[in-house]
């Protein structure tokens, strides 16, 4: 028996009397729940003891001073221990709880403030850590999130320690949710470490964590419960675009997915089961991503799902009691194609001879576009699953499956098959069993995807993780050197487990203890992209209006110096020496230690400084680099040496020096031809510009400049709208051309004239095409343009 339990007198109180006693409580005590828990043998049993000691519960509420012997211990929960080694009544027993009363939470000012919704974290990176109260040195101690923290996702991943990590012990931790709004869940404790998923209600959540272990001795033969409490505030976000979840079914689909007969008999393989499993996988994505963002110093920001009030499925008891919950909506989209059409081998991505491996993406894109009907500027983010994916054992491939992610300006899309769906958890209670199920994959009925799904838990890992990988693509992430975007998702299960099962992929027994250093992760560059992604916005973030200039401008100026400007701030630069297809080296401009100081809007670099960020053996190679703004835009410079060479500088006719900007548009059409024009205002003698006529349709065709002396100069061609649109300068008031606002992508979509008086012409052409670009007006420049043939333009500014 542990020494600290020798002097502890245990007093029992029936569960029935605990629930039926009535009392008048203050708001700060109304969240108290009964001290119920489950006891498990090394995390395998869910049985509850019929009679259980409430000594730890009552001692927590009694306002007694802790004994000096515990005050010197390092346990964070020791300050809340009472009734041990003596107490205020001097008789060695805990003070009795009067009949008709209920134990109360401490009512001091700090406790009451935990239930206030006024205010939030002191910074975007969260509050300073606060210790959560505990009632025993063996009680759970949450280390991943501070007491009183604010989060923005319904399912929160936590981790921590129980008992003494120097003397590791196995057991079970039970999570009792706020006001019993969710059934208690049980999580294994391995070597005194635990991980758990919390279901949160909007607003303040007061949760109790109970630790039990059959390896801890007891004076009365009953298993002791060691409890602690933690407060978490859940603020749902509704101002950012959601990530939509869709299941695609063929027009004549049987609405079933591949599963072994035992699974079909146990839980079914129909559409309703698929919806539950896909929803649970999506909440695992969200919990994992929020934790990764926090570890990278960005707080628990994450994307949200569109939710609706519906029969709950996050707990297996929800269907039993008919509980209704606000949970992620799974859209079911009926395809115009038949099962035979989408299961065509030529569409199967994993089938070697297939000739149309990317066509499933087009089928999904068309269906999603028809379903949501997005308009210009109303971008949708959609992650889809083909329900009719099917393992063909004879051919040895999965039909109607492709793992792809990407999209265009209106639809960002990820697609995946349902061939691993049978192994997914359907509820929170099934997460640990699903990721530890060593049942071998029966290839008579289901696929062993890529030869890495030899058991049920590995199939769940591949399916959930690979679909998350494609969802990363739709959120803008390329392949990386490590992490989810490199297939590191084969370790995704470690995020939710403390002990790993045998792996058929590695032919080795799993880790005895899974610590954060052993887990899968989003790469640092992925989290930087997420930090400025619209889906990850928080209410405190600066608003980005559609007209906001999110562009990045790159200029070469005197002495080979590179000037980089971004109205929203420069976030980071990725460096790609020749031979590197993925980024291994980058420069960040975010000061995480001082979040009140925003990123710089203008930076100056030299070729030497950029090359110093590379290893010695790569510094002399051709260097490409990509600059990212805080507005979510980016710009790529293909060759650093070319940018700083004399080809990007020229001497103007009036004697001034001009500097070339980076090119807008790709000049990739066969009819493209260069066309260069230096305006008369830079000629010698100078000519006064009177008006500009813009020729455009859905893109920029050309511009014609008219001077006061009657002469005109054409840039491009007279296409698009007949006669064009004319913008007249008020030369009597000294109004002059200041520059242009451009919309450009593969070509120049539209142009807006900006003048020295602050007047804007409005965008001529496609006002929503491509991205917006504005030159830095602190520079003195003339206008020099290069135009391609036809209606395909690109533009350069000097």
Residue that is last in its domain, among 534, 562, 581: 534
CATH assignment at residue 617: 2.60.40
DSSP string covering 152-206, please?
--SEEEEEEE-S-TTS---EEEEEEPGGG-S--EEEEEETTEEEEEEE--SEEEE
Residue 663: HSE in the Cβ half-sphere, 13 Å Cα cutoff: 19
Respond yes or no on whether the N-terminal peptide bond of residue 685 is cis (omega within 30° of 0). Answer: yes
Q: Which of these three, 643, 672, 694, is where a domain ends?
A: 643
pTM (2 d.p.) = 0.77
**Are 225 and 264 part of one and the same domain?**
no
pLDDT at 79: 35
Helix (H), strand (E) at residue 714: strand 712-716
**Cβ contacts of 543 within 8 Å, gap of 6 or more:** none
Q: Does residue 540 sit within a domain? A: no
In a domain, residue 792? The reply is no
Is 760 domain-assigned? yes
**pLDDT of the residue at 78:** 34
Q: Sort strands 243-249 and 330-334 into parallel, antiparallel or unpaired.
A: parallel
Whether 217 and 341 map to the same domain: the answer is: no
- Going from the C-alpha of 373 to that of each of 367, 369, 380, 634, 678, the distances in angstroms are 10, 5, 9, 28, 44
Told to judge if 470 belongs to the known catalytic residues of this protein, a careful annotator would answer yes
Report the alpha-carbon angle 475-478-481, nearest 5.
130
CATH number of the domain enclosing 65: 2.60.40.10
| Structural domain for 624, as ranges | 553-643
Q: Are residues 498 and 378 in the same domain?
A: yes
- Give pLDDT, residue 667: 63
Same domain, 427 and 380: yes
Same domain, 230 and 247: no
Percentage helix, strand, coil for the chain under 3-state DSSP, each rounded to 5: 20, 25, 55
Q: Do residues 331 and 430 both lie within one domain? A: yes
Distance (Å) of CA 412 to CA 101, 383, 468, 472, 773: 57, 8, 14, 10, 22
Indicate the SS3 state at residue 601: coil
The reply to whether 44 falls in a domain is yes
Whether residues 464 and 586 fall in one domain: no
Count of domains in the chain? 4
Assess contact for 304 and 202: CB atoms under 8 A: no
Residue 545 placed within a domain: no
Q: Assess if residue 691 is contained within a domain.
A: yes
- Whether residue 224 is found in the same domain as residue 247: no
Tokens of 62: 């009694």
Structural domain includes residue 729: yes
Spell out the SS3 assignment of 432-486: HHHCCCCCECCCCCCCCHHHCCCEHHHHHHHHHHHHHHHHHHHCCCCCCCCCHHH
Residue 686: CATH number of its domain: 2.100.10.30
- Residue 713 has a pLDDT of 87
Out of 534, 563, 583, a domain closes at: 534
Half-sphere exposure of 13 (CA within 13 A, CB side): 22
- Active-site position among 40, 429, 470, 500: 470
Residue 502 carries which DSSP code?
Answer: -
Question: What is the greatest pairwise CA distance in the chain?
Answer: 109
Phi and psi at residue 377, in whole multiples of 5°? 85, -5
Helix, strand or coil, per DSSP, at residue 653? coil
pLDDT at position 591, please?
Answer: 82
pLDDT tens string 505-556: 999 999 999 999 999 999 999 999 999 999 999 888 877 766 677 888 888 8
Residues 275, 368 within the same domain: yes
pLDDT digits (tens, 9 = 90+) for 321-370: 999 999 999 999 999 999 999 999 999 999 999 999 999 999 999 999 99
Examine the domain organization and report whether 490 and 512 are in the same domain.
Answer: yes
Q: Residues 338, 210: one domain?
A: no
Say whether both 94 and 207 belong to one domain.
yes
Pairwise CA distance, residues 428 & 765, whole Å: 51
Low-confidence ranges of the chain (pLDDT < 50): 1-129, 131-132, 134, 777-798
């Amino acid at each position: 028996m542990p020494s600290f339990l020798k002097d502890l007198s245990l007093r029992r109180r029936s569960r029935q009397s605990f629930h039926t006693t009535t009392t008048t409580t203050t708001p700060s005590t109304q969240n108290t729940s009964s001290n119920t828990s489950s006891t498990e043998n090394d995390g395998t049993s869910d049985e509850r003891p019929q009679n259980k000691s409430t000594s730890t519960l009552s001692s927590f509420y009694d306002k007694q001073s802790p004994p000096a012997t515990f005050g010197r211990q390092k346990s964070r929960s020791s300050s809340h221990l009472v009734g041990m080694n003596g107490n205020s009544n001097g008789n060695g027993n805990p003070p009795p709880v009067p009949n008709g009363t209920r134990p109360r939470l401490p009512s001091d000012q700090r406790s009451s403030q935990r239930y206030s919704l006024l205010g939030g974290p002191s910074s975007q990176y969260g509050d300073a850590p606060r210790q959560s109260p505990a009632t025993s040195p063996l009680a759970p101690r949450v280390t991943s999130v501070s007491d009183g923290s604010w989060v923005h996702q319904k399912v929160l991943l936590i981790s921590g320690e129980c008992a003494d990590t120097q003397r590791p012990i196995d057991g079970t931790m039970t999570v009792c949710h706020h006001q019993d709004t969710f059934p208690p869940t049980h999580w294994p404790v391995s070597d005194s470490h635990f991980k758990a998923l919390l279901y949160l209600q909007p607003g303040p959540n007061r949760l109790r964590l109970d630790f039990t272990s059959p390896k801890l001795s007891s004076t009365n033969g009953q298993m002791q419960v060691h409890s602690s409490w933690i407060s978490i505030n859940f603020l749902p976000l509704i101002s950012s675009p959601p990530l939509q979840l869709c299941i695609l079914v063929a027009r004549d689909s049987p609405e079933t997915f591949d599963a072994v007969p035992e699974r079909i008999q146990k839980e079914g393989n129909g559409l309703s089961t698929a919806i539950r499993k896909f929803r649970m996988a999506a909440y695992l994505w969200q919990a994992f991503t929020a934790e990764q963002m926090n570890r990278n110093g960005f707080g628990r920001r994450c994307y949200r799902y569109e939710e609706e009030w519906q029969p709950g499925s996050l707990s297996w008891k929800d269907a039993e009691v008919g509980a209704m919950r606000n949970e992620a909506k799974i859209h079911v989209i009926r395809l115009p194609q038949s099962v035979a059409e989408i299961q065509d081998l030529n569409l199967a991505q994993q089938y070697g001879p297939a000739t149309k491996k990317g066509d499933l993406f087009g089928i999904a894109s068309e269906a999603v576009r028809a379903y949501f009907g997005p308009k210009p500027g109303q971008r949708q983010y959609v992650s889809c699953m083909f329900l009719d994916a099917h393992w063909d054992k004879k051919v040895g491939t999965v039909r109607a499956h492709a793992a792809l992610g990407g999209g265009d300006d209106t639809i960002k899309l990820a697609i995946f098959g349902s061939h691993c769906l049978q192994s997914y958890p359907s509820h929170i209670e099934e997460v640990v069993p699903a990721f530890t199920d060593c049942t071998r994959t029966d290839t008579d009925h289901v696929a062993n995807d890529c030869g890495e799904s030899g058991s049920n838990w590995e199939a769940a890992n591949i399916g959930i993780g690979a679909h998350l990988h494609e969802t990363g693509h739709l959120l803008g992430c390329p392949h990386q050197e490590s992490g989810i975007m490199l297939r590191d998702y084969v370790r995704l299960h470690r995020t939710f487990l403390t002990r790993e099962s045998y792996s058929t992929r590695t032919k080795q027994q799993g880790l005895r203890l899974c610590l954060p250093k052993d887990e899968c992760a989003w790469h640092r560059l992925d989290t930087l992209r997420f930090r400025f992604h619209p889906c990850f916005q928080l209410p405190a973030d600066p608003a980005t209006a559609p007209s906001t200039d999110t562009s990045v401008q790159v200029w070469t100026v005197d002495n080979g110096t590179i000037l980089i400007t971004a109205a929203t701030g420069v976030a980071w630069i990725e460096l790609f020496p020749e031979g590197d297809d993925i980024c291994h080296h980058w420069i960040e401009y975010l000061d995480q230690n001082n979040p009140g100081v925003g990123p710089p809007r203008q930076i100056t670099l030299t070729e030497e400084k950029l090359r110093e960020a590379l290893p010695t053996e790569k510094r002399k190679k051709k260097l490409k680099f990509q600059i990212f703004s805080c507005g979510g835009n980016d710009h790529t410079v293909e060759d650093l040496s070319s940018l700083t060479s004399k080809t990007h500088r020229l001497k103007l006719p009036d004697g001034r020096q001009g500097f070339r900007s980076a090119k807008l548009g790709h000049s990739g059409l066969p009819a493209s031809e260069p066309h260069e024009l230096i305006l008369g205002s830079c000629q010698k003698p100078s000519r006064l510009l009177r008006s500009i006529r813009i020729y455009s349709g859905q893109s920029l065709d050309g511009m014609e400049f008219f001077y006061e002396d009657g002469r005109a100069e054409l840039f491009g061609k007279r296409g698009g709208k007949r006669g064009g649109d004319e913008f007249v300068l008020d030369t009597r008031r000294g109004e002059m051309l200041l520059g242009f606002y451009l919309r450009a992508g593969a070509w120049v979509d539209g142009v807006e004239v900006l003048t020295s008086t602050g007047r804007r012409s409005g965008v001529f052409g496609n006002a929503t095409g491509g991205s917006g670009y504005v030159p830095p007006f602190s520079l003195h420049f003339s206008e020099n343009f290069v135009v391609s043939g036809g209606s395909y333009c690109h533009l350069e500014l000097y």
